[in-house]
Each structure stands twice: as structure tokens, then as C-alpha cells.
Amino acid sequence: MNARLVVLVSGAGTNLQALLDAARNPGYGATVVAVGADRDGIAALDRARDAGIPTFTLKVRDFETRGAWDDALAAACAAHQPDLIVCAGFMKLVGKGFLARFTGRCLNTHPALLPSFPGMHGVRDALSYGVKITGCTVFLVDEGVDAGPVLAQAAVAVADDDDEATLHERIKVAERALLVDTVGRMAREGWSVSDDRKVTIGR
């Protein structure tokens, strides 16, 4: 039985496309059942529609409070009965109402090796610091910023002539592969989180 994925997006949708491509393999173990966005007119929604996947859009500005938006997002996701929610380039932080429903079942990616360089500028910050190795992280979302339990990481070497754009592009390639692999393993094998935040994939 395939795990049901709801994917949340804000932009081009390259991570979404990687998941859609992987899900075409019956052995992958997961199927994208809906795609949600926080804005209109983005390529990620076009990718979903082209694949025949239901979509929904919830803009923060259409709600009186951020909490009301968060509750609506949780309800929209829950309507599709997801086993996992994947934030794939989703540029909004989810709140307490959302996490009350989906703690331990919502994951995100970050373009650095957490806990190093959290926040919006992980690639820039790593480059400015002068590290020789950076990478990407897939983690479970909690109430912190890029602070949840780590599911998987991949290293990417920093070249002497890298700028933010060239380094970020190589990290994105590694990130797509890591996300697809991690989601597939979680779907097929299950996962658990210990009291000390260590995640084990596989029963």
C-alpha cells in the first residue's frame, strides 16, 4: 500500500517533480495525492496539474490572522488523508495548529548541514564562513526554524571558485536525490523518533 504524500510548494517545483517522477515506479512506495501552495501563478502548481494531481492554494493575506491561515492549511492537508507532508521549497513556516495534527509526519529540506547555517541564507552563510564541506539536510519539522530531528544528510564539497549560485545549484541536485530517497525509505520501511531526537528509518 502506497504512502499518501501531500506536497507543499512556493516556487518552481523541482523537488515536487523529482517526487512525481519517483512515484511513477510502483516499487517506490509513495504517491503524491495533492499539492498545496501559498501563492498563485507558480510553476510547481503547473507541474501538479500536468500530472493530474489535485491542488489547493491558501494565501496568508486572505486570512485575518496567521493562526487562521495555519489552521486552514492543516485542514486542507488533512482532507487528503496524508501519511506524510513534504515541504518542497515551501516558503512559509507552519505553526502550532498545523504541527498539532502532523508532528512527526511533516518533513522539509535545508541547503546546509544542520544544525550549521539554519535560516533563509544557508548557502550564503556557509560560503561566507569559509567551510570546505556543506550539503543538505532532510528533517522533521518542529516549532523551531530548521531545528527538527534530522532524517538524512548529504555532503557537498565547496570549490575554491564557488559563488552562491554555483554552490546552491550543486546542493539542489544533491537535495533532490536525498529527498526522493528519504521519502521512499520512510514510505516503505516506516520511521520512529526517540526521546533524544534521533530518527530511525525502518522498523
Residues classed as catalytic:
110
Which run of H or E residues covers position 40?
none
Burial 67-101 (b: 16+ CB within 10 A, else e): eebbbbbbebbeebebbbbbbbbbebebbebbbeb
Q: Bridge partners of 200?
A: 192
Which residue's C-alpha cell is 512525481? 20
> How many CB atoms are closer than 10 A to CB 42?
18
8 Å CB contact between 118 and 147? yes
Q: Which residue from 48, 38, 15 is spatially nearest to 93, judged by alpha carbons?
A: 38
